[in-house]
Amino acid sequence: MCGIALIISGIRICKASSLFLESVPPASSPKAEQLVFSIDDLKAALRGRGPDSLSSKKVFLYSNTSSTVEEQEIISFIEGEEEKERDLAYLQRFEKKNKCLFGADGEAHELENGFPKFAAELHFVGATLQLRGINPIVQPLVDISGNILVYNGEIFGGIYINSDSNDTEILLQALGKCCPSNSHLCTITDSCDEKRQSSIPGVLSAIKGPWAVIYWQESSKTLWFGRDAIGRRSLLVHWPTLEDGRFMLSSVSPVSSIEQSSGFEAENGFNKLKFWEELPCGIYSICFGSHKSDGFIFGEVRKHEWKNAMVKELLDWERVSVEPKPEDAELSHCKIAREQHGMHSAHSNIFPSKSGEYHIIMWKRACTSFNFRASKDCADCFKGICDAPHFTAYNFSVTCDIRQEAHAPVAVLFSGGLDSMILAALLDECLDHSYEIDLLNVSFDGQSAPDRISAKAGVKELRRIAPSRRWKLVEIDADLSKLDLETKHVMSLINPANTYMDLNIGIALWLAARGSGWVYEGNNNDIDEDLECVEYKSKARIVLVGSGADEQCAGYGRHKTKYRQGSWLGLHEEMKLDMQRIWKRNLGRDDRCIADNGKEARFPFLDEDVIRTLLDIPLWEVANLDQPSGTGDKKILREVAQLLGLYEASVLPKRAIQFGTRIARESNRKNFGSNRAANQASAGSAAIHMPSNLT
């Protein structure tokens, strides 16, 4: 990981039937200057994500005017010192074979620095925060065939990656073996099927793990791009408009686009011209061609179907069993009665007492998703860090030296609530005990914030179940009134999200991922106010986030409302809606805010196998919303917490980060005068208008 971008200029992008994109010529209007930012602005945004390396490459596209057919051949050249000699040889080869540098009249085309003047440009940018592989790499990667890849993601399955290899290099090799598409139809040719060659959608569909990708297939002159089906990695898109005819992809919006847009929005109303949008999850391609009539190069955007059956199932998000039968309901009532009579032993909630084994099997499958076994593959790279065959978001193979200090390689965004406590306890089981674990906790109300109070209680419980582990609660205290510059920066990170709720969550996540706070140092492993409080900055490059737990396990108040209104089916449909829109409402925003600190966010509850396992469990075993908050909501996770020995955490009610940290209260006071005024204005969902006193 940590960021990718692409700018295409000089090309007419037109829609396929499946996309709502209008055909727009290259920008020529003076209005195009209103939101234009430079490639340097884009690089600066990616550089802020703390990469080990950042680089770029250009591909020039040139129309072969000597062609006699209606659709002309497209010739491409790569700019770059290391490729220049190869490209000149490539150029000379086409001169001799196709005379592509000569028009119909035999006149040579004008050259510039050894290259033909181009009609279009593709500018690739790649920033790499290397976590896997022994040898350092610099993106964009270019193979011997001229294919170019920039990749932001991890491969935890679907494509084999050994412990010494880098995901991006292996993916480039796999994509390089794919059959070239028909550049006119953007489809796989019949000869590919006969040769049993894999397709690019097939390779990308097979990946388990979070990813966003931009790939240039030289042989077919086709650009491929997309993001994983769940949307765990951000990828923003700017579709060409009359105001700015460039096509752009980027992991993050440059700050300059916010600055330049503010004046325009102040005059014309907020979001009158919205530059970026979240790219919908999926695999896309742009096939390039050129018509002889006008010589313009055009590109047609198409969206491709997922080729992996499991991915399709996750997108459909259909549960095996939604409504309980009478005997199932009776079993649940018996279980509740046992709990009310004080039967809270470590195993009382694990196995339902039913003569049949169906529910026991389903429950065991759920528990399996939260267990780990040691992996020899990681031993040479990071002793003790293991992968999880089912909970694959915990594949912690990272580039490292085992002789380094035992600082925390992985941190947890930690509120002390149910989800973060489970993640911390599971992390303890797979991480060698010689390493510390950083628990990152943010407060906008010092020691009085609910999340700070629960975090301190949570650390005590973690120390009880794992006394040999050195847990570091990193207390990150913030004052919203003193964060004006930081707030403006976070506004660019959450873009295109634009509500006060998005901003509040974004600031809290950004501060937590930055990891700059205080810890108590002493000879014991207890938090003691008498111990010395020292300044501390987490060095962990991987941050675990509990996103997806509430959506899949009925943790929101609206889930209880839907259950009461529409029973089990209504609850299922609401949860399905949450999961199918989480990419747009949450994940892109969260990934951008966390990655800006040079950290990689991982979402264990959104691992493909975990989602599939939870869908295999009857809904009434996942949640029982007849019960009060802290009992029936996220029932299955509460049982997992008890399985892990987290009895106090297992009964904690749901509390959103903006309320637990008290940033919502401070934001309401600052921007609306009081909580009451903010509630009357529905501040949580209110759009932030520019200019505002936030900036």
Same domain, 411 and 292: no
Same domain, 489 and 593: yes
Q: What amino acid is encoded at 657 in this protein?
A: I
Residue 26 has pLDDT above 80, yes or no: no
Q: Which residues, other chains included, contact 495 with Cβ-Cβ below 8 Å and sequence gap of 6+?
A: 236, 253, 257, 258, 276
Q: Residue 298 and residue 13: Cα distance in Å, rounded?
A: 6
Exposure of 217 by Cβ count < 10 A (0-12 exposed, 13-18 middle, 19+ buried)?
A: buried
For position 572, what pLDDT does the model report? Answer: 96
Q: What would the 3-class secondary structure string for 199-220 be?
A: CHHHHHHHCECCEEEEEEECCC
Residues 480-494 have a mean pLDDT of: 92
Q: Are 667 and 688 contacting, i.e. CB atoms less than 8 angstroms apart?
A: no
Query: Torsions phi, psi of 141, nearest 5?
Result: -95, 140
Residues 126-146 have a mean pLDDT of: 84
Comparing 8-17, 204-213, 324-333, 555-564, which segment has the lowest mean pLDDT?
A: 324-333
In this structure, is residue 466 part of a structural domain? yes
Tally of CB atoms within 10 A around 437: 24
Q: What would the 3-class secondary structure string for 87-127 be?
A: HHHHHHHHHHHHCCCECCCCCECCEECCEECCCEEEEEEEE
For position 289, what pLDDT does the model report? Answer: 83
For position 149, what pLDDT does the model report? Answer: 96
| Side-chain-facing half-sphere of 694: CA atoms under 13 Å | 26
For residue 551, name the pLDDT band (cuts at 50, 70, 90).
Answer: very high
For residue 464, name the pLDDT band (cuts at 50, 70, 90).
Answer: very high
Q: Are 481 and 507 contacting, i.e. CB atoms less than 8 angstroms apart?
A: no
Same domain, 39 and 154: yes
Print the domain residue range for 121. Answer: 3-19+34-82+117-178+199-263+272-313
Residue 573 has pLDDT above 50, yes or no: yes
Q: Residue 544 and residue 599: Cα distance in Å, rounded?
A: 10
- Identify the residue whose tokens are 């065991």: 364
Which residue did the predictor score with more confidence, 335 or 25?
335
Residue 692 has pLDDT above 50, yes or no: no
DSSP 10: S
Token couple for 633: 């909501």
For position 333, what pLDDT does the model report? Answer: 54
Which residue did the predictor score with more confidence, 445 or 35?
445
Residue 32 has pLDDT above 50, yes or no: no
Exposure of 47 by Cβ count < 10 A (0-12 exposed, 13-18 middle, 19+ buried)?
A: middle
Q: Which residues, other chains included, contact 401 with Cβ-Cβ below 8 Å and sequence gap of 6+?
A: none
For position 135, what pLDDT does the model report? Answer: 76
Q: Are 383 and 432 contacting, i.e. CB atoms less than 8 angstroms apart?
A: yes
Q: Which of 292, 225, 243 is nearest to 63 (CA)?
A: 292
Same domain, 655 and 522: yes
Each residue's pLDDT tens digit, 158-191:
998 887 788 899 999 999 999 886 544 455 554 5
Same domain, 300 and 383: no
Residue 28 has pLDDT above 60, yes or no: no
Q: Residue 240 and residue 11: Cα distance in Å, rounded?
A: 10
Tally of CB atoms within 10 A around 680: 10
Please tell me the total number of residues recorded for the chain in this structure: 695
Residues 203-213 have a mean pLDDT of: 95
Question: Could you tell me the CATH number of the domain that includes residue 123?
Answer: 3.60.20.10
Residues 327-340 have a mean pLDDT of: 55
- The H or E element containing residue 285 is strand 282-291
Percent of the chain topping pLDDT 70? 69
Comparing 33-42, 188-197, 246-255, which segment has the lowest mean pLDDT?
A: 188-197
Tally of CB atoms within 10 A around 673: 11
Q: Residue 340 and residue 358: Cα distance in Å, rounded?
A: 25
Strands (E), 494-565: 516-521, 532-537, 542-544
For position 334, what pLDDT does the model report? Answer: 55
Same domain, 300 and 384: no
Residue 324 has pLDDT above 70, yes or no: yes
Q: Residue 125 and residue 145: Cα distance in Å, rounded?
A: 19
Query: Torsions phi, psi of 97, nearest 5?
Result: -80, -45
Q: Residue 441 and residue 543: Cα distance in Å, rounded?
A: 12
Comparing 365-379, 431-445, 446-460, 480-494, which segment has the lowest mean pLDDT?
A: 365-379
Q: Are 143 and 86 contacting, i.e. CB atoms less than 8 angstroms apart?
A: no
For position 381, what pLDDT does the model report? Answer: 26
Q: Residue 533 and residue 181: Cα distance in Å, rounded?
A: 61
Residue 413 has pLDDT above 80, yes or no: yes
- Strand-pairing partners, residue 411, are 438, 543
For position 74, what pLDDT does the model report? Answer: 79
Residue 421 has pLDDT above 90, yes or no: yes
Q: Are 391 and 604 contacting, i.e. CB atoms less than 8 angstroms apart?
A: yes
Q: Are 382 and 396 contacting, i.e. CB atoms less than 8 angstroms apart?
A: yes
- The H or E element containing residue 578 is helix 557-582
For position 63, what pLDDT does the model report? Answer: 78
Same domain, 484 and 563: yes
Question: Could you tell me the CATH number of the domain that includes residue 551?
Answer: 3.40.50.620
Query: CA-CA distances (angstroms) from residue 161 to 133, 169, 594?
Result: 9, 10, 25
Residue 110's Cα: distance from chain center in Å? 45
Q: Residue 99 and residue 126: Cα distance in Å, rounded?
A: 34
Peptide bond before residue 496 is cis, with ω within 30 degrees of 0: yes
Q: Are 438 and 412 contacting, i.e. CB atoms less than 8 angstroms apart?
A: yes
2-9 β-sheet, strand order: 74-79, 53-63, 120-128, 2-9, 247-250, 236-238, 277-278
Same domain, 304 and 383: no
For position 455, what pLDDT does the model report? Answer: 97
Residues 33-48 have a mean pLDDT of: 77
Residues 399-403 have a mean pLDDT of: 37
Token couple for 437: 């674990």
| Side-chain-facing half-sphere of 529: CA atoms under 13 Å | 2
Q: Which of 285, 284, 281, 301 is nearest to 585 (CA)?
A: 281
Comparing 207-211, 468-472, 529-533, which segment has the lowest mean pLDDT?
A: 529-533
- Identify the residue whose tokens are 């004006």: 484
Comparing 57-66, 191-200, 266-275, 375-384, which segment has the lowest mean pLDDT?
A: 375-384
In this structure, is residue 393 part of a structural domain? no
Which of 331-345, 366-380, 607-621 reaches the highest mean pLDDT?
A: 607-621
Q: Residue 507 and residue 664: Cα distance in Å, rounded?
A: 11
DSSP 500: H
Residue 244 has pLDDT above 90, yes or no: no
For position 254, what pLDDT does the model report? Answer: 87
In this structure, is residue 394 part of a structural domain? no
Residues 429-446 have a mean pLDDT of: 92
Residue 29 has pLDDT above 60, yes or no: no
Residues 465-480 have a mean pLDDT of: 95
In this structure, is residue 618 part of a structural domain? yes
For residue 467, name the pLDDT band (cuts at 50, 70, 90).
Answer: very high
Same domain, 617 and 540: yes
For position 678, what pLDDT does the model report? Answer: 76
DSSP 619: H
Q: What amino acid is encoded at 691 in this protein?
A: P
- Strand-pairing partners, residue 247, are 8
Structural domains counted in the chain: 2
Each residue's pLDDT tens digit, 674-686:
878 877 777 667 7
Same domain, 627 and 502: yes
For position 353, what pLDDT does the model report? Answer: 34
Mean pLDDT of the chain: 78
Each residue's pLDDT tens digit, 79-90:
754 445 445 555
In this structure, is residue 144 part of a structural domain? yes
In this structure, is residue 395 part of a structural domain? no
Which of 49-63, 341-355, 491-505, 674-688 reaches the highest mean pLDDT?
A: 491-505
Q: Residue 419 and residue 641: Cα distance in Å, rounded?
A: 9
Each residue's pLDDT tens digit, 66-81:
555 555 677 888 875 4
Q: Are 353 and 330 contacting, i.e. CB atoms less than 8 angstroms apart?
A: no
Each residue's pLDDT tens digit, 287-299:
888 776 666 788 8
Which residue did the predictor score with more confidence, 575 or 678?
575
In this structure, is residue 339 part of a structural domain? no
Comparing 91-100, 452-461, 494-503, 679-688, which segment has the lowest mean pLDDT?
A: 91-100
For position 392, what pLDDT does the model report? Answer: 37
In this structure, is residue 347 part of a structural domain? no
Which of 282, 297, 313 terminates a domain? The answer is: 313
For 519, the 3-state DSSP assignment is strand
